[in-house]
Amino acid sequence: MSTAGDLKLLPKQWLEEAKVLFPVLSEFRRELHRHPELSMQEVETTRKIKAFLAEEGITLLPLDMPVGVLAEIAGASEGPTVALRADIDALPVQEETGLPYASIEAGRMHACGHDFHTAAILGAAVLLKRHAHKLRGKVRLLFQPAEEKGTGARVMIEAGALEGVEAIFGMHNKPELPVGTIGLSTGPLMASVDGFKIKVHGKGGHAAVPDAAIDPIVAASAIVGGIQTAVSRNTSPFDRAVVSICSFHSGTTWNVIPDVAVLDGTVRTFRQEVRHDMPDRLHRIAMGIAAGYGAEAELSWFSGIPSVDNDAAAVETVRNAAQALKLKITEAVPSAGGEDFAHYQEKVPGCFIWMGTSGTEEWHHPKFTLNEEALIPGAALFALTAVQALEKDR
């Protein structure tokens, strides 16, 4: 019998070991929760993660970045490398949970639960390290900064974090799902996130003499309504997309028609084809409407992160591990939010899952909480997923 066979036979043991580890993981998570750090400022968080890994005898890999951690667990024999990823940053939110371990840093909070992701992946790392002598291949650990800014994954990739990696796995806590349930699906799970700015140029004048002016506010108002048709009239009802104008700036006072109006917005899509067509479509609509009012419009496009798109084989690996652990699996409901885990999936096949945490509030809410007991299935699932991914092509 292969050593891998031994590992596969013991799903219950992974959960039992994770249960024993729970107090340590909870304590670590609470320490991060008390001292949240914002994107690209995760200096102390980085130090704490490194200290934890070093204590467990897990090898830290060089990473030419001020924040973020790269580590690796080598098995006893040659084989592929698979990666587990956690994000580590917090948000500029004033915590209102009243928890005994609530943030003591003014205006900063782990309101997206990245402290939980970090602790769960550390738990998986400890379990894997303990069984490393039975492992084939290597498990790379990515503790990524600046997910909330959508920039951390790219920086990690540029620093070489994915070198040699054949598959990657990650999670986000999901308040709506109970502890012990995961949300899993093949294909798009989270939206691409792009931004745009539309500048409408008119001709200023006296408020009482509109006929001598070209009012950019009226033209821009029509554009706000008009570009919604990029979703309702141009996107298939079987695709999903969002266009939101979130800022509208024009004018300085009550009796002067201004020259210019500026709109800022975001586009969320789930399929590459839909995303690809959006800039041109919005530009055409904005220009056409503006022209109808005698004004001119220009559109600037800011490409953000692609959509999280789960690879079918990677999903199956997670599904098998979750089933072995007797976790409940539900079809993951996609989110129009973005996740820069998508950048890793542009490079290697991967799977991003929802981890049920029986939360009370949505992500980013000042009263956001989660049930820490989800650290147990979280650590066990990611450990077993890594093992099964390493054994896959055997």
Q: How far apart are CA 314 and CA 164, in angstroms?
A: 17
Backbone angles phi, psi at 377, to 5 degrees: -60, -30
Nearer of residues 167 and 171 to Zn ion, judged by Cβ: 171
Query: Whole-number minimum distance, CB 119 to Zn ion, in Å?
Result: 14
Query: Whole-number minimum distance, CB 142 to Zn ion, in Å?
Result: 15
Letter for the amino acid at 311? D
Query: Whole-number minimum distance, CB 155 to Zn ion, in Å?
Result: 17
Query: Whole-number minimum distance, CB 114 to Zn ion, in Å?
Result: 6
Query: Whole-number minimum distance, CB 5 to Zn ion, in Å?
Result: 37
Distant-in-sequence, close-in-space partners of 182: CB < 8 Å, separation ≥ 6: 318, 322, 327, 328, 329, 330, 353, 354, 355, 356, 377, 381
Nearer of residues 91 and 287 to Zn ion, judged by Cβ: 91
Q: Which residues bind Zn ion (CB under 5 A)?
A: 112
Secondary-structure percent of the chain, ordered helix, strand, coil, rounded to 5:
40, 30, 35
Nearer of residues 146 and 261 to Zn ion, judged by Cβ: 146
User: In a 10 Å sphere around its CB, with 0-12 CB exposed, 13-18 middle and 19+ buried, how is residue 321 labelled?
Assistant: buried
Q: How far apart are CA 84 and CA 377, in angstroms?
A: 15
Nearest CA-CA partner of 82 in 92, 90, 67, 72: 72
Nearer of residues 117 and 319 to Zn ion, judged by Cβ: 117
Nearer of residues 105 and 296 to Zn ion, judged by Cβ: 105
Instruction: Point out the residue whose Cβ comes nearest to Zn ion.
Output: 112
Query: Whole-number minimum distance, CB 15 to Zn ion, in Å?
Result: 25
Between helices 312-324 and 375-391, what is the axis angle to 10°? 120
Query: In this structure, what token pair is assigned to residue 295?
Result: 């004004």
Nearer of residues 17 and 340 to Zn ion, judged by Cβ: 340
